[in-house]
Amino acid sequence: MPHMTAFARNQWYVAAFAHEVGRDLLGRTVLGEPVVLYRTETDGTPVALADRCVHRRYPLSASGLDGDRIVCGYHGFTYDTTGACVYVPGQRRVPRTARVAAYPVAEVDSLVWVWIGDPALADPATIPRAPHLDAPGWVTVRGMEPIACDYGLLVDNLLDLSHETYLHGGHIGTPEVAETPITTEVDEGAGTVRVSRHMDDAECPPFYARSTGIDGRIMRWQDIEYHAPCLYLLHSRVAPVGVLPEPDGSDPDAFHTEITYCITPSADGEVYDFWAVSRDWATGDAEVTEFLRSGNHTVVMQDVDALNLLQRTLGTERAGYQELSINIDTGGLAARRILARLVEEGDKPVERVR
Ligand code: FES
Ligand SMILES: [Fe+2]
């Protein structure tokens, strides 16, 4: 397949929002591996198992729960939360090889993260944080859209916001976004890319004019923080022109909005686009909440349509096509380098303790 970014396996990925995981079995595919997710009855801990019964590979996500155990919907093989099979029909002896993989799981900031690679390397302390997603005082709208594209195309898309002017005009894009140069900072070791664009006198796009009530021109600051491979944060600051943060760092007259994306490769040419918009202003205003939810959903669908189209287009190009990059691509190119390094490091044989 053309233009496919390899998967970094030894990394945490968001498989679901916390609210999606419950007592109904949820099937997702992460890095090409089918996964079934649920919560235990005993203490609500999320569980992630391989979504294929060892017997005839029936999807466990299409099966049922008996307490904390999954009973395969085809012939009844029964699995506990560790993936071990504890019952097979018609015989006492359960074959020793009857087990499905159990993936390390962590629930952090209302996101359910899974680790598909070597379980011995999974350390939940390394999960990048997005505390605004469930901190008190913040209100969040969220959703998930699958896209039929290489996940690298979504990384490119999010690291360059100059496309807002063209693809999202009338929603979040104004001429100043594309016109204002960016600054980029890369921390190769930490695997992070920061891209900033500070517009000090810009048109206020409808997305912010209608939600904040500011009329007139604005200072609009966009500070992206990408934690490769999965978590993308956009710190957005909007204020009337000339209103700066106080010397002590407080910023009472500005509107701060946190835009979060989780980029989870599902399979080759398939990606889950988890999105969220969080705010700590007008938190009691249900109309603002609904406006930001539907407005951001519209914007996300513009990206989804564009990336579906782009992937189909790349699928028809001749081999060896040389793409052209400019300044706005600095962040995206840095992200590609980091992803390539994570893939390479994850593929190195791991020293095992015997
Ligand atoms: S396929 Fe699951 S029990 Fe037969
Ligand atoms: Fe976009």
Give the DSSP per-residue string, 326-341.
-GGGHHHHHHHHHHHH
Which atom of ligand 1 is closest in space to residue 73's alpha carbon?
2
pLDDT tens figures, 230-244: 999 999 999 999 999
- Give CA–CA dist 90/95, Å, rounded: 12
Specify whether domain 12-126 bears CATH 2.102.10.10: yes
* CA distances in angstroms from 278 to 199, 281, 292, 354, listed in the order given: 21, 9, 9, 46
Residues with CB under 5 A from ligand 2 (ion): 303
Q: Look at residue 350 in the predicted model and tell me its pLDDT.
A: 56
Q: Look at residue 104 in the predicted model and tell me its pLDDT.
A: 98
Q: How far is the CA of 253 from the centre of ligand 1 (A)?
A: 60
Kindly tell me if the per-residue pLDDT of 91 is higher than 90: yes
Where does the pLDDT of residue 347 fall: very low under 50, low under 70, confident under 90, or very high at 90 and above? confident
Query: What are the structural domain ranges in the chain?
Result: 12-126, 134-343
Q: How far is the CA of 170 from the centre of ligand 2 (A)?
A: 13
pLDDT tens figures, 164-175: 999 999 999 999
Which atom of ligand 1 is closest in space to residue 57's alpha carbon?
1
Q: How far is the CA of 166 from the centre of ligand 1 (A)?
A: 51
Burial 123-151 (b: 16+ CB within 10 A, else e): eeeebbebebbeeeebbbbbebeebebbb
Compute how many other C-beta atoms are within 10 angstroms of the C-beta atom of residue 270: 17
Q: Which value, in Å, is the radius of gyration of the alpha carbons in the chain? A: 22
Q: Look at residue 352 in the predicted model and tell me its pLDDT.
A: 47
**Across all residues in the chain, what is the average pLDDT?**
96
- Give CA–CA dist 96/102, Å, rounded: 16
Q: How far is the CA of 235 from the centre of ligand 2 (A)?
A: 15
Question: Which ligand places an atom closest to the C-alpha of 154?
Answer: 2
- Give CA–CA dist 78/63, Å, rounded: 10
Question: Which ligand places an atom closest to the C-alpha of 56?
Answer: 1
Place of tokens 């469930």: 134
Ligand 1, pocket-test mutation among 52, 75, 85, most atoms within 8 A of CB: 75
Question: Which ligand places an atom closest to the C-alpha of 94?
Answer: 1
Q: List the residue whose alpha carbon is closest to atom 3 of ligand 1.
A: 75
Residues framing ligand 1 (Cβ under 6 A): 53, 55-56, 58, 72, 74-77
pTM above 0.75, yes or no: yes
Kindly tell me if the per-residue pLDDT of 98 is higher than 90: yes
Where does the pLDDT of residue 320 fall: very low under 50, low under 70, confident under 90, or very high at 90 and above? confident
Specify whether domain 134-343 bears CATH 3.90.380.10: yes
Where does the pLDDT of residue 319 fall: very low under 50, low under 70, confident under 90, or very high at 90 and above? confident
Question: Which ligand places an atom closest to the C-alpha of 157?
Answer: 2
pLDDT tens figures, 9-60: 999 999 999 999 999 999 999 999 999 999 999 999 999 999 999 999 999 9
Kindly tell me if the per-residue pLDDT of 138 is higher than 70: yes
Kindly tell me if the per-residue pLDDT of 76 is higher than 80: yes
Q: Look at residue 169 in the predicted model and tell me its pLDDT.
A: 94
